[in-house]
A and B are shown apart, each in its own frame.
Chain A
């Protein structure tokens, strides 16, 4: 049994997200059953039927929202797993990071626009490194972006690297973002920041 603190936190996170996925499943099915019963009795005139439908719609929307957050949290929790220590999928890691960064973005009134990859982007870097570096990168960008601005995040590839690409609508001074990680890890050119990882060799 590992006593590594990061691995322990990861295990506790994944254990809890599994349990919460079950909680969400029960909420989703219970709300769904209520909707089914209402639909099966559509001929019965219920004074508050529109309100009930609206409330059930809210439950479904929030379950979907929570599911995305839990999936992201689960991916984060699994990132110290020994079997993802030699490589990981940047596309999945980036998607999880973006879900987890929606709240700090919303608090600063920054619109976070993410264009996900359409296929896996396997990199020769441990998942934990990608996760922690990616988070530092995004946090630094959110810190420097002004309120009411937009931050576009996407993924890009060259034969050597897969890259997390960030284009703030108001770039400002790039130095605080470049300083978020050791010298040279983040690149900046013409209003665009990139964080690159070497492509996993077959």
Chain B
């Protein structure tokens, strides 16, 4: 399973995002973290392109779907994986319609996330 070397993780739950980032780092994935949509867009411009982005849907201020829409203008090729609550499956489906690669329900299982990251990367490389 080939994993991405670097990704951007966007989630307003700081403890969740930083802890998940540490776990991804332990698996060799350099992970930058943004806690809001505006910062995520800035980081995508300044530090991108990332191989994959993991994006929470429900965030204060600019929501994940709006971030996704704007990301598509900056980095149209980068696969995006959405994190949704169970009841927000509709947001996940809407995100897929807007070009997200996949959506996962929170609390996400790390092995499932790693599998999805690998699939996103493989799909991305196949499209190049």
Closest to A25 in B: B107
Interface of B is mostly: helix
Contacts of A17 in B (CB 8 A): 85-87
Contacts of B58 in A (CB 8 A): 18
Which of B13, B19, B20 is the most central at the interface, judged by chain A CB atoms within 10 Å of its CB? B19
Query: Given known contacts A18-B58, A21-B106, A63-B107, is B16 in contact with A29 (CB within 8 Å)?
Result: yes
**A163 proximal to B (CB < 8 A):** no
| Cα–Cα, bound, A30→B107 (Å) | 12
Cβ distance B92 to chain A, nearest Cβ, rounded Å:
14
Cβ distance B69 to chain A, nearest Cβ, rounded Å:
22
Interface of A is mostly: helix
Closest to B20 in A: A29
**B110 proximal to A (CB < 8 A):** yes
Closest to A19 in B: B85
The B-contacting residues of A in range 1-57, CB under 8 angstroms, are 14, 17-18, 21-22, 24-30, 32-33, 36, 40
Contacts of A77 in B (CB 8 A): 87
Cβ contact of A18, chosen from B16, B23, B26, B87, cutoff 8 A: B87
Cβ distance B49 to chain A, nearest Cβ, rounded Å:
26
Q: List 12 A–B pairs whose Cβ atoms lie within 8 Å, in order of A's numbering.
A: A14-B87, A18-B58, A22-B16, A22-B106, A24-B107, A25-B107, A26-B13, A29-B16, A29-B110, A30-B19, A71-B86, A71-B105
